[in-house]
Chains A and B, each alone.
Chain A
Amino acid sequence: MEIIKDIQNAFLPELIIVIFIVLNIILSLFIRKNAYKTAKIITSTGLVFACIAMFFVQLIPEYYAFNGVYLSNIFTCTFKIMLLICAFFAVFISGNLTGLRKQKSFEFFSLLLSGILSGFSLVSSNDFITAFISIEILSISCYFLTGFNTNRKSKEAALKYLITGAASSAVFLLGVSYLYGITGSISLSEISNIYANSTINPLFFIACLLILLSLMFKIGCIPFNNWIIDVYEGAAYNICAYLSLIPKISAFAFIINVFICIFSFSPVLKIISAIIALYTIIYGALGAIKQSNIKRLYAYSSIIHSGFILFGISILTVYSVSASIFYIFTYIFMNIGIWTASIIYNRDYKTDEIGDYKGLFSKRPYFTTALTICLISLAGLPPASGFFAKIYLFSSAFRSDFIFMTLMFAAMLATVVSIFVYFKIIKVLYEKPSNEITITKQGIFPGIILYVCALITLLIGIYPNILIKICQIVSYYI
């Protein structure tokens, strides 16, 4: 009966999602017409149930389920809520799946759900086996989702994702195996207990390094960021929105866990990850200047933001980790905003180039305003929430060691370059339009989501206090 108690206390949302995945797959055999609508309804119902189930999960004393493998505390709960928000958005902006075959809707949504399921379990994993399996399921779902479109680019992008993903999993496993060899256990809490008291092996250092590098791949930091650019260009717009959020957030949760349990014993690793983060920001900002394809530009922008979040995590104080969590939270909304806007504009103009976005303000003024708000937030200007996220991050860096302070100044300079990147888009939006722009009829949902995101961005920018306090509480609990 321990299993049932474990499930009830920690695993309930995941179980519900599993049930709905199975439901989706079974229904795909029976229902032929109206497949898309049914699938969407079922998926959203599943997500709603998962949301409700979050309330029954035990939070206050930490709960280790399944013999210390699965963890459930406030930190994981927060991240799961973030993942659910992303999932809701991703389901609703799917639009009519233009370019995909409608009969495949059920598989599409079951893949979406399995990605979310693995995200959940990656967030709550306390053990390297669970983490590895979750990473693999997540990656595999994402490989398929990337390749879901019927054009050549998405297949190629999926292949590139697969090869680099496989390579990174391999490196991850190597690191884990060395860690296992040194400590004899693969559970994070046990490893941290062992290392709290003893000295550090050079092999331990190598093992941790390997794990760090493979996790850097997942988020899209230097030096493993080349796949992001190609994959985002190949995937469909709504998949890109999904890809830029769900794997990233789960990976960040796991990274935070790993950092705190294992990496806190070695200051070199913190400095290495800080420098990697800094280099990521600079590389992302510089690389984005010359891009003319909107998807590649957004890919570089997601690289930049991963760099910022990683920078906050690598400092490893309570304030900086809470700053990172706050940054992730605001990043969700900004990101969904820009991808939704791209979906809307792509349906109108069927183009990927920035230059063809000229003069959108005169045709769709309200959407363009919302998009501008999201872009301003990404650039880090007041009054949008990105400004507060960056300020909070930089102030927490300021208060810690000297070396982080110097790195922080470099990060600030890189921010300036990234501002140029976003304003390139904004400038194009407000120019005089060329004549061949027609407006097509759109569904309601993308528009609503765009407005909601812009609004939330502004609101967080004006009153960030509550959110910051929540993040601080969360980070105390890790």
Chain B
Amino acid sequence: MIINITLYHYLILALILFAIGFTGLVISKNLIKALICIELIMSAINLNFIAFTSFKNYIFLKGMVFSLFITAVSAVQSAIGLVLIYLIFKNRKTLMSEEIEELKG
């Protein structure tokens, strides 16, 4: 069947991706999985911006520009996340977020 792919389809897709990523971030025990989920969330938001830009005929393509920025920044963020995870791993030899609980109370 041919359904017209409207804006709302993209938005709902992005929302589902965001939800999956967020749930993964909250649930995952492995820290690297959490980082990946952050990347997922950022891509979902990228999708949001691009969908809005292409479906609505706005004058300036600010959304596209924004998504470029988002991509760059999320790359930086995951790099830094990896650095920090590596430093923790060096000290404690574990990547499970349940065992990294020294600061509490």
Query: Do A's and B's CB atoms come within 8 Å in the complex?
Result: yes
> Hey, which chain A residues are within 8 Å of B56, CB to CB?
181, 184
- For B69, the chain A residues whose CB sits under 8 A away are 129, 132-133
A291 to B41, CA, bound (A): 36
Q: Tell me whether B45 and A143 are in contact (CB under 8 A).
A: no
Cα distance, A230 to B100, chains bound together (Å): 12
Q: Name the residue on B nearest A295 (C-beta).
A: B103
- A-B Cβ contacts below 8 A, count: 108
Is B98's beta carbon under 8 Å from chain A? no
Interface residue ranges of A147-186 to B (CB < 8 Å): 147, 152-153, 155-160, 162-163, 166-167, 169-170, 173-174, 176-178, 180-181, 184-186
Interchain CB contact under 8 A, A180 and B73: no
| Nearest A residue to B58, CB-CB | A184
- Known A-B contacts A167-B22, A184-B56; A152 and B102 likewise in contact (beta carbons under 8 Å): yes
Give the contacting residue for A167; candidates B11, B25, B80, B104; CB below 8 A. B25
Q: B91 to chain A: which residues have CB within 8 Å?
A: 152, 155
Cα distance A174–B60 when bound, in Å? 20
Chain A interface SS verdict (over half): helix
CB contacts (< 8 Å) of B11 on chain A: these are 181
List A contacts of B63 (CB < 8 A): 177, 180, 186
- Size class of the contact patch on chain A: 35 or more
Q: Which residues of B have CB within 8 Å of A132?
A: 66, 69-70, 73
A234 at interface (Cβ–Cβ under 8 A)?
yes
Q: Per a CB cutoff under 8 Å, which of A143, A156, A181 touches B88?
A: A156
B60: A residues at CB distance < 8 A: 185
Q: Is B16 an interface residue (CB 8 A)?
A: no
CA distance A372 to B104 in the complex (A): 28
Residues of chain A within 8 A (CB-CB) of B73 are 132-133, 136, 169
* Residues of chain B contacted by A177 (CB below 8 angstroms): 45, 48-49, 52, 63
User: Hey, which chain A residues are within 8 Å of B65, CB to CB?
Assistant: 129
Residues A159 and B45 in contact in the complex (CB < 8 Å), given A140-B77, A180-B62, A180-B63:
no
Q: In the complex, which residues of chain A have a beta carbon less than 8 angstroms from the beta carbon of B102? A: 152-153, 156
Once the chains are docked, how many angstroms separate the CA of A140 from the CA of B104? 23
- Contact across chains for B81 and A162 when beta carbons are under 8 A apart: yes
Q: Let me know if B45 and A170 touch, CB within 8 A.
A: yes
State A177–B70 Cα separation when bound (angstroms).
11
CB distance from B79 to the nearest CB of A (A): 10
Known: A180-B49, A181-B48. A173 touches B70 (CB 8 A): yes
Closest residue of chain A to B15 (Cβ to Cβ) is A174
**Alpha-carbon distance between A83 and B88 when the two chains are bound, in angstroms:** 32
Shortest distance between the CB of A160 and any CB in chain B (Å): 8
Report the minimum CB–CB distance from B87 to chain A (whole Å). Answer: 5
Q: Contacts A132-B73, A157-B103: A180 and B52 contacting too (C-beta < 8 A)?
A: yes
- B76 is an interface residue with CB less than 8 A from chain A: yes
| A296 interface hit (Cβ, 8 Å) | yes
Q: For the complex, what is the distance from the CA of A147 to the CA of B69, rounded to whole Å?
A: 26
Which chain A residues lie closer than 8 Å to B84 at the CB level?
143, 147, 155, 158-159, 162
Chain B's nearest CB lies how many Å from the CB of A419?
23
Question: Once the chains are docked, how many angstroms separate the CA of A155 from the CA of B92?
Answer: 11
Q: How far is the CA of A229 from the CA of B103 in the complex (A)?
A: 9
The complex places the Cα of A158 from the Cα of B85 at a distance, in Å, of: 10
Task: Tell which of A173, A233, A291 touches B45, judged by Cβ atoms closer than 8 Å.
Answer: A173
Q: Does A75 contact B (CB under 8 A)?
A: no
Whether B62 and A186, one on each chain, are in contact in the complex, defined by CB atoms closer than 8 angstroms, is: yes
A36 within 8 A of B: no
Q: How far is the CA of A230 from the CA of B102 in the complex (A)?
A: 9
- The residue in chain B whose Cβ has the minimal distance to the Cβ of A203 is B11
Do residues A170 and B103 form an inter-chain contact, with CB atoms below 8 A?
no
Check A180–B66 contact: CB distance below 8 A.
yes
- Residues on A with beta carbons closer than 8 Å to the beta carbon of B66: 128-129, 132, 176, 180, 186
User: Nearest CB to that of A151 among chain B residues?
Assistant: B91
Q: How far is the CA of A188 from the CA of B6 in the complex (A)?
A: 28
Instruction: Decide: A140 near B80, CB < 8 A? Known: A174-B18, A234-B103.
Output: yes
Please give me the residue from chain B that is nearest to A175 by CB atom. B45
**B98 CB → nearest A CB, Å:** 13
Q: Which of B49, B58, B88 contacts A155 (CB 8 A)?
A: B88
Which A residues touch B105, using CB under 8 A?
291, 293, 296
Residue ID in chain B nearest A163 by CB atoms: B34
> Closest B-chain residue to A182, C-beta based?
B52
Measured between alpha carbons, how far is A167 from B38 in the docked complex, in Å? 7
Q: Does B38 lie within 8 Å of A159, measured CB to CB? A: no
Query: Which residues of chain A have C-beta atoms less than 8 A from B80's C-beta?
Result: 140, 143-144, 162
Additional 6 contacts, C-beta under 8 A, given A163-B38, A186-B66, A234-B103: A140-B77, A152-B91, A159-B88, A159-B100, A178-B48, A291-B105
What would be 13 A-B contacts, judged by CB atoms less than 8 Å apart? A129-B62, A129-B65, A136-B73, A140-B77, A153-B103, A159-B81, A159-B84, A160-B103, A166-B38, A170-B38, A177-B49, A178-B48, A186-B66
Residues in A lying within 8 Å of B, measured CB to CB: 128-129, 132-133, 136, 140, 143-144, 147, 152-153, 155-160, 162-163, 166-167, 169-170, 173-174, 176-178, 180-181, 184-186, 229-230, 233-234, 291, 293, 296
Per CB-CB distance, the 7 closest pairs between chain A and chain B, nearest first, are A177-B48, A181-B52, A230-B103, A184-B58, A170-B41, A173-B45, A166-B38
